[in-house]
Amino acid sequence: MVRYLGIRLLQAVGVLWAAYTVAFLVLYALPGDPVSLLAGADANDISPEQLDALRAQYGLDRPLVVQYLDQLAAALHGDLGRSLVSGRPVTEVIGEAIPPTAAIASAALVLAVGFGAGLAILANYTRRGWLANVLLGLPPLGVAIPAFWFGLMLIQWFSFTLPILPAVGDRGPASIVLPAIALALPTGAMIAQLLSKSLATTLSEPYVDTAWAKGADRARVHLGHALKNAALPALTITGLIVGQLLSGTLVTETVFSRPGLGRVTAGAVQQQDVPVVQGIVLFAAAAFVIANLLVDLVYPLLDPRILGAGGRARSRTPGPALTPAAREETS
């Protein structure tokens, strides 16, 4: 287990370093001059000497390699620099934007898991073929619907036609409902697609046939035996779900005019505020890494075969394993 966790931690550090490096190179490859954007409409009235002084003030006149190494060293000490636009520390800018984004992202995650898992279980549990086909046709539709269009429809239905929820802003718990639903739709559809297919495959395994032969009822077979093993592939995409929720806030917060990381990211990219964009990329990568580390910790608990001899990690695509209840019935 120690070796297993050590390998995962090294991989996590590599992901963070790669994300920071790629963001640095891409942002500096963009056309335009951050100092000119910072000067705004007065850039034409500023002399070249004054622009050079601004570049020297923000350290943009140094070689690219020197800038990268200095910023990387500062980031390792928790200093992500200052915003080129506001002059505030990047950690402060991101820290203020995290709570409103975390509120809708956590609510959306709960809705997505409940919707996706419930839809997948019901589609495989029902004996009515037409109902199963209808339910299995909903996830592709949820993935295909544009998030911004769905968000606008929610505003039209529940804020204007039925004025029961606020349309925009951050005004208490009620203002979280519509953004969370809009953000949960594609994520829940993705969970439903993967889990329904995994459940269908798991239900055809021999140990499930043995459970049927031993007299287990339908609910115990589906929920007690099949669901645990079918959940392993769905658990694997936890990192993708976290990434999709974070990227979805860019559209959701814009449509619903909410403060948060999405709007901060859009403004920073538009103004070419390199330190802020780098800080947000690093935060998103850290959230992705933490989610995957948690999955790596849970995986051996669900299936001990993940750990090989000497604590060496095996592939995270194991075949079906007997649940404790299944082993009891087959013994």
The one-digit pLDDT tens for each residue of the chain (331 residues) are 677 778 878 888 888 898 888 888 887 777 666 666 666 555 556 667 777 777 777 677 788 888 888 888 888 888 888 887 787 888 999 998 888 888 888 899 899 888 888 888 888 888 888 888 888 888 888 888 888 888 888 888 888 888 888 877 777 788 888 899 988 888 888 888 888 888 888 888 888 878 788 877 778 888 777 787 787 777 777 767 877 787 788 888 888 888 888 888 888 887 778 888 888 888 888 888 888 788 777 777 766 666 653 344 444 444 444 444 444 433 3
Residue 209 maps to which CATH number?
Answer: 1.10.3720.10
Give Cα separations from 74 to 82, 107, 118 (angstroms): 11, 34, 46
Measured CA to CA, the distance from residue 300 to residue 2 in angstroms comes to: 12
The residue range of the domain holding 54 is 2-64
Q: Quick check: is 134 in a domain?
A: yes
Whether residues 53 and 167 share a domain: the answer is: no
Q: Quick check: is 76 in a domain?
A: no
Reported as type and span, the H/E element at residue 46 is none
Residue 194 CA neighbour count, 13 Å, CB half: 20
Write the DSSP symbol of residue 305: G
Q: Which amino acid, residue 62?
A: R
* Under 8 Å between Cβ of 243 and 288: yes
Whether residues 141 and 230 share a domain: the answer is: yes
Domain boundary among 21, 47, 64: 64
Whether residues 110 and 55 share a domain: the answer is: no
Whether residues 223 and 294 share a domain: the answer is: yes
| Interval 262-276: pLDDT, tens | 888 888 887 778 888
Query: Exposure of 145 by Cβ count < 10 A (0-12 exposed, 13-18 middle, 19+ buried)?
Result: middle
Tell me if the pTM is above 0.85. no
Q: Quick check: is 73 in a domain?
A: no
Q: Quick check: is 208 in a domain?
A: yes
Measured CA to CA, the distance from residue 312 to residue 2 in angstroms comes to: 9
In angstroms, what is the C-alpha Rg of the chain?
25
Q: Quick check: is 60 in a domain?
A: yes
Number of separate domains in the chain: 2
Q: Quick check: is 86 in a domain?
A: no
Q: Quick check: is 74 in a domain?
A: no
Whether residues 41 and 100 share a domain: the answer is: no
